[in-house]
């Protein structure tokens, strides 16, 4: 029942590989959905088996770089895969044993406030993953209940959620609570309208909107872009002027090859190993921006959007099926961990290209 809506025929997969923008745009532009599916499936399998991802009760950590983008993207590709089933089963189990499970990170092992931050982070990610798979499911509703229980009710961060800060951009830095709040809004926007109209839920949603509204102007471009995505799912966060200004700003950061660099949208940042940040166009920024622009209603006839989509079609690795992206935090030399940004990049590229088809 969870996945029937996602059946795609072989003919459909082959159609997805064709250039959606017309042959006149770029005769050689194409991409390979099967290769992308194989890459993200293999990467999630690796993540599940990686000893560092293991958690209590025979579960594994749900990562912002590999597991969450996988969950968002995999529904756009073919029938369910074995890794997808494993992810849903893992998250469902974590939700069912919420009061028994240890947080992904705790104060003793990871430092002050990490238990608190971890619970808030996981609650949002669990709800997002499960609502993507089964919007009306019992586990999904339980995940939302746990998420709302974690919502901050007082102070400057009222309406947001506790969020992990390991000084890692773009998902675990001091400004990442805005990213987390945007994901919570995106999750809520995927829930049934009847759920969002419940009195208790409406109050939580309004507090969430209020946080995303009042903090929007203070954010880096990447966080404001996440706010734009959230606004597309639970309307009322941004004004038309804010939406238009952000789209113009993103177009101003577009590179001459049609893509975007994550470095250009991440705000002021420096790698902790003092190596220079990568400035080339990459799949993470280009996939995410073109996806969000489409979600926000930018027409696919837009020349700037088309240029970004063509960049994606031209820059998939033909051997591995991935899109390249590089860490903002250090020059990663470990082959497997060094792919974390490409995991997210590939997922968002898949989402953007299938939406544009």
Q: What is the pLDDT of residues 103-114, one digit of tens each?
A: 999 999 999 999
Q: What are phi and psi of 280, to 5 degrees?
A: -70, 155
Which residues contact residue 58 at a Cβ distance below 8 angstroms, ignoring those fewer than 6 apart?
none
* 149 sits in which H/E element: helix 138-150
Q: What pLDDT band is residue 17 in, cutting at 50, 70 and 90?
A: very low
Residue 61 lies in a domain: no
**Same domain assignment for residues 113 and 219:** yes
Distances (CA, A) of 207 to 84, 125, 185, 225, 248: 32, 19, 11, 20, 28
User: Which is more confidently placed, 25 or 311?
Assistant: 311
pLDDT at 19: 43
pLDDT at 334: 82
pLDDT over 80 (residue 27):
no
For residues 272 and 330, the answer to whether their CB atoms sit within 8 Å is: yes
User: Which of 332, 356, 357 has its CA nearest to residue 65?
Assistant: 332
Total domain count, the chain? 2
pLDDT at 357: 82
For residues 124 and 187, the answer to whether their CB atoms sit within 8 Å is: yes
pLDDT at 29: 61
Structure tokens at 249: 């700003």
pLDDT at 105: 97
Supply the angle between the helices 138-150 and 82-96 in degrees, to the nearest 10.
60
pLDDT at 172: 97
Residue 297 lies in a domain: yes
pLDDT over 80 (residue 293):
yes
Instruction: Tell me how far apart the alpha carbons of residues 93 and 318 are, in angstroms, rounded to a whole number.
Output: 36
**Same domain assignment for residues 246 and 297:** yes
Token pair 């049934």: residue: 192
Q: What pLDDT band is residue 144 in, cutting at 50, 70 and 90?
A: very high
For residues 346 and 36, the answer to whether their CB atoms sit within 8 Å is: yes
pLDDT over 80 (residue 122):
yes
Instruction: Tell me how far apart the alpha carbons of residues 75 and 85 are, in angstroms, rounded to a whole number.
Output: 12
- Please state, rounded to an integer, the average pLDDT across all residues of the chain: 92
**Same domain assignment for residues 297 and 245:** yes
Q: What are phi and psi of 172, to 5 degrees?
A: -135, 55
Instruction: Tell me how far apart the alpha carbons of residues 144 and 322 are, in angstroms, rounded to a whole number.
Output: 32
Domain end marker among 237, 271, 299: 237
User: Tens of pLDDT along 193-224?
Assistant: 999 999 999 999 999 999 999 999 999 999 99
Domain end marker among 199, 222, 237: 237
User: Which is more confidently placed, 78 or 330?
Assistant: 330
Number of neighbouring beta carbons within 10 Å of residue 296? 16
**Same domain assignment for residues 218 and 282:** no
pLDDT over 80 (residue 23):
no
Q: What pLDDT band is residue 20 in, cutting at 50, 70 and 90?
A: very low
Domain of residue 283 covers: 1-56+239-357
Domain end marker among 237, 266, 284: 237
User: Tens of pLDDT along 162-199?
Assistant: 999 999 999 999 999 999 999 999 999 999 999 999 99
Local structure of residue 266 (DSSP, 8 states) = S
For residues 150 and 162, the answer to whether their CB atoms sit within 8 Å is: yes
Structure tokens at 131: 């609502």
pLDDT over 80 (residue 53):
yes
pLDDT over 70 (residue 345):
yes
pLDDT at 292: 98
Structure tokens at 343: 């995991």
> Quick one: average pLDDT of 229-243?
97
Among positive and negative, which fits the CA dihedral 347, 183, 238, 197? positive
Residue 175 lies in a domain: yes
């Amino acid at each position: 029942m969870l996945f029937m809506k996602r059946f795609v025929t072989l003919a459909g997969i082959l159609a997805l590989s064709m250039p959606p923008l017309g042959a006149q745009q770029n005769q050689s532009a194409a991409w390979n959905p099967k290769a992308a599916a194989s890459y993200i499936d293999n990467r999630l399998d690796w993540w599940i088996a990686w000893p560092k991802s293991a958690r209590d009760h025979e579960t594994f950590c749900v990562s912002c770089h590999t597991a969450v983008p996988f969950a968002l993207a995999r529904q756009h590709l073919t029938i369910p895969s074995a890794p997808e089933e494993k992810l849903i089963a893992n998250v469902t189990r974590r939700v069912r044993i919420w009061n028994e499970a240890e947080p992904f990170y705790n104060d003793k092992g990871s430092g002050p406030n990490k238990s608190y931050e971890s619970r808030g982070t996981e609650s949002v990610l669990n709800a997002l993953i499960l609502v993507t798979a089964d919007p009306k499911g019992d586990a999904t509703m339980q995940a939302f209940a746990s998420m709302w229980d974690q919502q901050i009710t007082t102070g400057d961060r009222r309406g947001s959620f506790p969020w992990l800060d390991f000084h890692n951009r773009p998902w675990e830095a001091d400004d990442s609570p805005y990213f987390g709040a945007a994901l919570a809004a995106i999750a809520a926007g995927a829930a049934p309208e009847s759920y969002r109209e419940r009195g208790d839920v409406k109050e939580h949603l309004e507090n969430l909107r209020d946080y995303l509204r009042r903090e929007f102007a203070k954010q880096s471009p990447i966080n404001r872009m996440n706010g734009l995505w959230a606004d597309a799912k639970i309307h009322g966060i941004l004004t038309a002027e804010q939406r238009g200004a952000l789209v113009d700003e993103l177009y101003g950061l577009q590179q001459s090859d049609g893509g975007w660099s994550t470095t250009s949208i991440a705000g002021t940042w420096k790698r902790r190993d003092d190596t220079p940040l990568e400035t080339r166009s990459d799949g993470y920024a280009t996939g995410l921006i073109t996806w969000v622009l489409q979600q926000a209603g930018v027409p696919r006839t837009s020349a700037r959007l088309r240029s970004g989509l063509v960049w994606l079609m031209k820059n998939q690795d033909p051997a591995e099926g991935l899109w390249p992206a590089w860490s903002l935090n250090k020059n990663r030399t470990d082959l497997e961990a060094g792919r974390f940004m490409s995991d997210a990049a590939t997922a968002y590229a898949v989402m953007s290209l299938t939406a544009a088809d």
